[in-house]
Amino acid sequence: MEKELQDFISYLHNIKKTSANTEMSYKRDLSKVEKYMAIQGLTDVTKITATHLQSYILYLEKNGFAAATVSRNVASIKALFHYLFKNGSITEDVSESLKAPKIEKKLPEILTTDEVNKLLDQPRGSSPKESRDRAMLELLYATGIRVSELINLKTTDINFQVGYIICRDAHKERVIPFGAPAKRALTDYLKNARAILLADQTSDVLFTNCSGQPMSRQGFWKLVKFYAKKAGITADITPHTLRHSFAAHLVENGADLRSVQEMLGHSDISTTQIYANMSQNKIREVYARNFPRG
């Protein structure tokens, strides 16, 4: 099964053009399946049956893995076996009968506008690092882009004259506007900080770390945690929290869902609909709390 797994990851990378994070996720999930099957004496993928795959899913559930984790593993297994069936490595897709557990949809964690303001106000110094941090936080909240998209931005992806960024992923390109606070932070960073961080190195990457190398996801995650603590925010936030907050605040203030969908890069508007549901829940709460005859 090891060779088939390597071929599948190569297929994702070379043909499907998936991101490194997606490939890593598939590899992590499927390597565990491979080890489990090896323990059962199954190293030949053609010998694996639907019963064997179902036993692995039951093993995950019995060992207390969250429904979301089990569901992701089911999706990974289905993707692998569908690929193997299509390329003729197996004569039957034995993963077809696998069912993912029902996942209770949780509302995303969002910050209040006051909490966002406190967070964005934290990098208030004039050092190159604080200038960069301020620009990254402002731009992330102003555009709602993903962290992977933020750290992969190039200097040529910013249009200061009109006020937008060009954001690219493996499948499409989208144009997202940003406002005056983000523009001021970006201007300060590019004028006073970026060249110092680069230290005579050349790079087209917009945001670099203190060694002049591209900023990593982990580095930015730590940055957000650091400033959240300084701001006195007790919620366990991640960089994605700013993306959720961007979308929720837009919808709360009257933005139409199609526009928010386009800016977020959602392929399905049902994914964006959750922010409208959050807004409606908030309205009901305010009504119940404040209307005298509620």
Phi and psi, residue 172, nearest 5°: -155, 175
Whether pTM > 0.75 for this model: the answer is: no
In this predicted structure, what is the pLDDT of residue 287?
Answer: 41
Contact 285, 279 (CB under 8 A): no
pLDDT in tens, 52-108: 999 999 999 999 888 888 999 999 999 999 999 999 999 999 999 898 887 666 677
pLDDT band (50, 70, 90) for residue 33: very high
Residue 294's pLDDT band (cuts 50, 70, 90):
very low
Taking residues 182-189, what's their average pLDDT?
A: 95
Q: How far apart are alpha carbons 97 and 226 in whole angstroms?
A: 45
- Coil, strand or helix: which one is 154? strand
Q: pLDDT per residue over 142-160, tens digit each?
A: 998 988 899 999 999 999 9
Query: 80 and 119 share a domain?
Result: no
The answer to whether position 81 is within a domain reads yes
Share of the chain above pLDDT 70, in %: 92
The whole domain housing 133 covers: 113-289
Q: Give residues with Cβ within 8 angstroms of 209, minimum separation 6.
A: 197, 215, 216, 219
Give whole-number Cα distances, 213 to 14, 41, 196, 204, in Å.
26, 45, 12, 11
* CATH value at residue 21: 1.10.150.130
The CA distances from residue 139 to 183, 270, 276, in Å, are 8, 25, 23
Mean pLDDT of 14-40: 91
pLDDT of residue 286: 41
- List the structure tokens of 242: 């700013």
Between CA 164 and CA 159 the distance in angstroms is 5
- Cα-Cα-Cα-Cα torsion 216, 220, 223, 228, nearest 10 degrees, comes to -160
Strands 158-159 and 173-177: unpaired
Mean pLDDT of the residues in the chain: 87
What pLDDT score does 105 carry? Answer: 65
Contact by Cβ (8 Å): 52, 42: yes
The answer to whether residues 136 and 30 belong to one domain is no
Residues pairing with 166 in the sheet: 175
| Statement to judge: residues 260 and 119 lie in one domain | yes
In a domain, 102, yes or no: no
Which residue type sits at 142?
Answer: A
Single out the residue in 86, 102, 133 at which a domain terminates: 86
What tokens were used for 63?
């060992």
Of 212, 215, 199, 204, nearest to 155 by C-alpha is: 204
21 in a domain, yes or no?
A: yes
8 A C-beta contact, residue 286 and residue 275: no
Give 124-146 pLDDT, tens digit per residue.
889 999 999 999 999 999 998 98
The pLDDT assigned to 81 comes to 94
Report the pLDDT averaged over residues 157-183: 88
Stretch 173-184: mean pLDDT, rounded? 92
The per-residue pLDDT for range 241-291, each reduced to its tens digit, is 888 888 888 888 888 888 888 888 887 777 788 777 776 655 455 445 544
153 plus 279 within the same structural domain: yes
Selection from 244, 242, 228 nearest residue 106 by Cα: 244
CA distance 239 to 109: 11
Number of domains in the chain: 2
Domain end marker among 86, 104, 139: 86
If you compute the radius of gyration of the chain from its CA atoms, what whole number of angstroms results?
23
